[in-house]
Amino acid sequence: MKSSGKFGAFGGIYVPEPLMPNLEELEEAFLRLSVDKEFLCEFERLLAVWAGRPTPLYHAKNLSDAWGAKIFLKREDLLHGGAHKTNNAIGQALLAKAMGKTRIIAETGAGQHGVAAAMVGALLGIRTEVYMGEVDMERQKPNVFRMKLLGATVHPVKSGGRTLKDAINEALRDWISNLHNTHYMLGTAAGPHPFPTLVKFFQKVIGEEARRQCLEQNSSLPDYVVACIGGGSNAIGIFAGFLEDKNVGLIGVEPAGKGLETNEHGAVLEKGTPGCLHGMKSMLLQDADGQVHETYSIAAGLDYPSVGPEHAFLKSEGRADYASATDKQALEAFSELSRLEGIMPALESAHALAYAKQLASGKGKGKTILVNLSGRGDKDLEQVMAYV
Amino acid sequence: MSNRYEKRFKDLKAKGEKAYIPFTILGYPNRELCLQTVKCMIDSGAAALELGIAFSDPVADGPVIQKAACETIASGFTVEDAWELVRDIRKIDNQIPIGLLVYYNMVLAPGIETFYANAAACGVDGVLIADLPPESADEIALACGKHNVAPIFIVSPLTNSERLDLILRYAKGFLYAVSRLGITGVEERYDTKLAELISEVGKRTDLPLCVGFGISTPEQAKAMLKLGAHGVITGSKIVDLVQGSLGNGGSSLDKTLGAYLTSMVKAVKEQIDQ
């Protein structure tokens, strides 16, 4: 490998030896194509004409009035497919094609990455197979239908807690068994090097656009940028635009589930300890023996016991802060955004909103807060209706 | 400092024999039957033991070992219980090399130094960390040396000569060659590249090379030895047999497992007679 893929003490490459040639191949292709004009042109073209970039920056005035801060929403929910996942899926599918791969596999939690993979697979004519935990298939049914209608195969994962973590395990096993023809399209900025770096590369368009749009619309940078954290790809994507702006506070919001005092949450950065899972060193919810805990969140896309290594690094460096929001707070935020702005957020993104509300009533009062509205809520209707 | 692997492989070589290395998961299906399983391995003539500590997310393992690992953790069997069991196994046979197969998070959890100190204190001779490639091996090299525990590494049919050099910089004990691409116990396909790998390894090192993943029959074992391997490792098949004996409370374990292990040991010895 050309790089160790380390972010301070986190990241790296911790995979079984048989996977190494594939990671070497992927790193080589990424390093070559990420500076290749033709490749970048095609990536940007598809982002624009197929996926609908740039996505708007929206000043949510009603919400601002209600919460007491100037709230801007980066509307990734309007991206084709309904979430930011499409950015990364296009980028990686183009990489896969350039590497001559004829099959794409992906894991999915909320189903948004699976849908993005299925859409891009259909577009580029690459066979796509998605691993999804049985629990998640049940709670995100509309996305299962979408993947199937787009021509992808959905493999139910029955091991472990049958959620995102287990879907990644199965995808990794598939990849080890099908090295020659298959690209593993990892959906978040986690996993072994080079995934955290390349997923950030394909997602940084969110932050670059948002920074420009803030300057255009508000003539200043925001005081805070808030994004939800599962693996952390939408957050690293929007943070990427502001990392050098030291006066902009970056805040990632983890799922507190039924409360941090219970065992039913996914607040990895707040409650976890350093560990190694899915090819990377990062923070991890685990017991004293190193067995990985089952996590819980109402939002399937945040239900993950580890986190992208760059977030663990940004926290250790003090460059970003990490907070959390409970299921209940996320549901309230879902409802408020729906009623006040006519926008239904994904339950994942609702966690970021819930924290923005708290921020607006405290140290963020009267300040400008940029929230990454990473996805739309259509997939969550059945779940939310059960609570209303 | 030499350890039991060096002595065992040297003795085998002197006798013109090859190694049969069976695998099981420590604590599966419970402490007693696991100990019985390991006794059966030793009595059948296993050259070394490969013992796994159950991990919640074993990405290099196929469904049989995954399920067994999951059940072992669910039964409440802890890493401390695993160390105790290894100590008892060491009491039964003080000469047989004992290798552990673990995932890196199990090593990091207590701390690298503590993990290797524990391993050495229990009489472990080698540790293979399934998800630690040589790129990251510096992290454990010091503790391995200090406690005289051999770092065992995997080589695959796709390992090129550059990577082989990197692996050989760290590897001790023996090299664990995967017979094909994939996870444990799933397919029975050999890559023709395996023969090239074995010959390439032979040119570069005196370390013995043992082949595992997808080896379950005496015929497969013979085929591997014919290619030049110094030994074979079987795992999923054994866990499968142990599982199969549970229906009658494990009373048929000695008989079925013993017959299987004996057939494998015989196959490994027969190879030499040819």
Q: What is the pLDDT of residues B172-196, one digit of tens each?
A: 999 999 987 666 655 545 567 888 8
- In this predicted structure, what is the pLDDT of residue B274? 47
Q: Is A66 exposed, middle or buried (0-12, 13-18, 19+ CB in 10 A)?
A: middle
* Contact residues on chain B for A290, CB-CB shorter than 8 A: 55, 79, 105-110
**What average pLDDT is seen over chain B?**
93
pLDDT of residue B271 exceeding 90: no
More confident residue, B252 or A325: A325
Pick A179's closest partner by Cβ from B56, B154, B158. Answer: B158
Query: What residues have CB less than 8 Å from A200, skipping those under 6 apart?
Result: A189, A233, A236, A237, A240, A310
Pick A173's closest partner by Cβ from B56, B105, B183. Answer: B183
- In this predicted structure, what is the pLDDT of residue A177? 87
Q: Are A288 and B109 in contact (CB under 8 A)?
A: yes
- In this predicted structure, what is the pLDDT of residue B193? 82
**pLDDT (average), residues B30-52:** 97
Name the residue among A247, A249, A250 with its Cα closest to residue A237.
Answer: A250
- B6, B61, B93, B125: the catalytic one is B61
**Residue A336 among the catalytic residues:** no
Q: Do B136 and A165 touch (CB under 8 A)?
A: no
Profile chain A (388 residues) by mean pLDDT over runs of 10 residues.
96 96 96 98 98 98 98 98 98 98 96 97 98 95 96 95 94 91 97 98 98 98 98 98 98 98 97 98 98 96 97 98 98 98 98 98 98 97 90
Residue-range domains of chain B with CATH: 4-273 (3.20.20.70)
Q: Which of residues 275-294 of A touch B (CB under 8 A)?
A: 275-279, 281, 284, 286, 288-292
Residue to mutate among B53, B55, B59, with most A CBs inside 10 A, is B59
C-alpha distances in angstroms, B58 versus A270, A313, A360? 25, 26, 43
C-alpha distances in angstroms, A43 versus A57, A95, A329? 21, 10, 37
pLDDT above 90 covers a percentage of chain B that reads 83
- In this predicted structure, what is the pLDDT of residue B183? 60
Which pTM value belongs to this model?
A: 0.95
**Residue B113 among the catalytic residues:** no
B115: distance to nearest CA of chain A, Å?
11
A–B interface: beta-carbon pairs under 8 A: 109
Q: Do A169 and B187 touch (CB under 8 A)?
A: no
Q: Is A25 exposed, middle or buried (0-12, 13-18, 19+ CB in 10 A)?
A: middle
CB atoms within 10 A of CB A280: 28
Q: Are A185 and A21 in contact (CB under 8 A)?
A: no
Indicate the residue type of A121.
G
Query: What residues have CB less than 8 Å from A216, skipping those under 6 apart?
Result: none
Q: Do B108 and A159 touch (CB under 8 A)?
A: no
Helix A37-45 with A85-98: angle, nearest 10 deg: 140
- In this predicted structure, what is the pLDDT of residue B189? 55
For residues A293 and A81, give the distance between their C-alpha atoms in angstroms, rounded to a whole number.
31
User: What are the residues facing A345 on neighbouring strands?
Assistant: A376
- A85, A101, A200, A281: the catalytic one is A85
For residues B183 and A177, give the distance between their C-alpha atoms in angstroms, rounded to a whole number.
6
- In this predicted structure, what is the pLDDT of residue A180? 86
Nearest CA in chain B to A174: B182
- In this predicted structure, what is the pLDDT of residue B188? 44
**Residue A365 among the catalytic residues:** no
